[in-house]
Structures are given as C-alpha cells and as structure tokens.
Amino acid sequence: MLLYHHTVFAQHDTGSHPECIARIERVNAMLDTSGWITRAKCPTWQAASRDSIATVHKAAYYDQLKSWCEQAAGRIETDTIVSRGSWDAATHAAGAAIDAVERVVNGEDRRAFCAIRPPGHHALAGGPMGFCLFNNVAIAAHAAIAAGLHRVMIIDWDVHHGNGTQDVFYEDGRVAFFSIHRSPFYPGTGKVTETGTRGGLGWIANEPVSEDITVKSFTERLTRGIEALAAKVCPELILLSAGFDAHRADPVGSLCLADRDFGDLTRIVSDLAASHCAGKIVSLLEGGYHLEHLPMSVNAHLEELAKS
C-alpha cells in the first residue's frame, strides 16, 4: 500500500476551528505508532501544478486563493479559514492525490491512502466551501482520465454530501459519483433525484440517510448503492472520499458508526474494487473531527485497505 503523509499539512493553521492542525497530528502519530510508516511505501511527491488544479478550478479562484493565503486572510468563507501555510498544504494535498492515482494506474501498487488536509469534497470550481480549498478527489479523477482511464468511480461516505465533487462531474459521463450522507444536513444537497444530466445522466447516485439510521441499515444501503452504480459504469479505478465524521462521537457530523465499522465499510469497497478494477483504490482523507476516534477509525480503514 502507498501512504502519503507529511508535516506540510500541519502548516494549514485554522486556530480553534474543528478542522484543526491537531487532526493531522493525531493521524500522523497513529501512522507512526501503529507501524504504517514502515509497513507501507511512502512516496515523495510534488505540489500540484496550476495546470493540474485548473482541470477543476477556475484560474481566477486559483489566483485569489493564493493571494488570500499570502495575506493570511483568515476567514474567506463562512466555514473556511486560511493562513500563510495553507497554500503549501492545499497544493501538496492535491499533489498527493494526483501522484497516488498515477502510481496506482501505472501498477506500482493497487492501494493508496492520502493522509491529507485541508479536505476537498465541498470545494467548488470557483470558490472555497465547508473547510475545503481545492477539490482533491475531483482533481484526482481528472488525473486518472489524463492517465488513460475512461471510467472512474468516486465513493463518498463522509457524513456531509460531497456537493463540490458532484457539481464537477454532473454532466461528465466519465466519472461516476456515489454519496451516502446524513440528510437533512449541511450542505443541503444530495437528494435521490440528483442523478446527473447530459452525458452524466445516471452517473450520479445519492443515498441520503436519517440521523437515527442503524449501522446495519447504513451498511446495507452503501452496499446496494455502490454495487448498482458500479454495475452500470464498470469502473477502472475507485476513488474514496474517506470522511470519518459519520462516527457516533463526532462533534461536527455524527451518525451511528464506531471505529471498527469503517473497517467493515472498507472491506465492502475493497470487494467491489476486486470485482471491477483489479482491486485499485485511492483513498483520500476528508472529514472526521473527534481527535481520539479519528485516528482509530483511520487505522481500522487502513487495516482493510492494506489487504490485497
């Protein structure tokens, strides 16, 4: 398994914000103490280029975000904060996603996990949203297409709907998107009727769930949803927006899941990947804000992801 981790992600200083430096510090500490840093292959990589980021984001937003970071502008959107270190963190997060995809597509390994921040799945083509600066998973999907793939599938199990990712691929027809998320909840999108349009019609699938859902029901609905979409699109690669804020103790999101349940979800996605794309999965860290349960949930995820 490929593992992307770096202290650069601690340079994105958001103060006492829920998406704080301590999140990645706790995850990095777990990666060390649990032996993942020695067990996995840890590549070096470069920050994403302007051209790579431009596959998703508008040039004006790229320039504006860089300026905001240089100015340490602070709050740039209702829920989103930047500091001087945010630019290096955000460009290296996108760069990790690109590098992981290229290595997996080229056969260096079948699995990769990117322990990155800031998260990305709310980020819009023209602006930040919901803690997110660049849409890492959308940039990764475009990298997969550039590497020669024709059908990519994104699975998003973050407690919040990945509205930014959905927007990017709503008319595309090369990148399928499945999201299971709490509803009604932020950001208010992700209805079952949102299924794509034009070339992307039928390539978008949403599974909104209520806050009182059980683990059994959550697992069954995820399984049915991803199997149905994968049967339609026959993905050559699975990208996973791995948020851990559906944990029952999460202070921002919370649903019904415990640490071990993220291992079970990973096994379901791994089985799907084995059936459709030779087991190829690139997983990217999204949300998860409980400082004790986040690293434990990530560890459960990695234990299954590393099996191949």
Whether the per-residue pLDDT at 181 is higher than 80: the answer is yes
* pLDDT tier at 172, thresholds 50, 70, 90: very high
Q: What is the pLDDT of residues 38-50, one digit of tens each?
A: 999 999 999 999 9
pLDDT of residue 221: 98
At 52-105, the pLDDT tens digits run 999 999 999 999 999 999 999 999 999 999 999 999 999 999 999 999 999 999
| pLDDT, position 164 | 98
**What is the tens place of the pLDDT at every residue in 194-219?**
999 999 999 999 999 999 999 999 99
DSSP letter string, 82-144: E-TTHHHHHHHHHHHHHHHHHHHHTTS-SEEEE--SS--TT-BTTB-BTTBSS-HHHHHHHHH
> 51 pLDDT band (50/70/90 cuts)?
very high
Arithmetic mean of pLDDT, 127-135: 98
Helices and strands (H and E) in the chain: how many: 10, 9
Cα–Cα dist 226/240, whole Å = 12
Whether 308 shows a pLDDT value over 90: the answer reads no
Element (H, E) at 209: strand 204-209
pLDDT at position 94:
99
Sign of the dihedral defined by the CA atoms of residues 67, 70, 76, 81, in that order: positive
Confidence of residue 238 (pLDDT cuts 50, 70, 90): very high
Provide the annotated active-site residues.
122
Does the pTM of the predicted model rise above 0.75?
A: yes
Using CA atoms, how far apart are residues 111 and 109, in angstroms rounded to an integer? 6
- φ/ψ of 127, rounded to 5, equals 180, 165
Phi, psi dihedrals of residue 284, rounded to the nearest 5°: -120, 130
Instruction: Please tell us whether the domain made up of 2-305 is placed in CATH 3.40.800.20.
Output: yes
For the chain, the average pLDDT equals 98
Residue 131, CA atoms < 13 Å, CB-side half-sphere: 26
Residue 109: predicted pLDDT: 98
Once rounded to an integer, what is the mean pLDDT over residues 159-178?
Answer: 98
Q: Which two tokens stand for residue 148?
A: 């020669």
3-state class (DSSP) for residue 290: coil
Can you give the pLDDT at residue 227? 98
Domain boundaries along the sequence of the chain: 2-305
Residue 183 tokens read as: 């509803």
- Residue 33's contacts (CB-CB under 8 Å, 6 or more residues apart) are none
The CA-based angle 143-189-267, given to 5 degrees, is 55
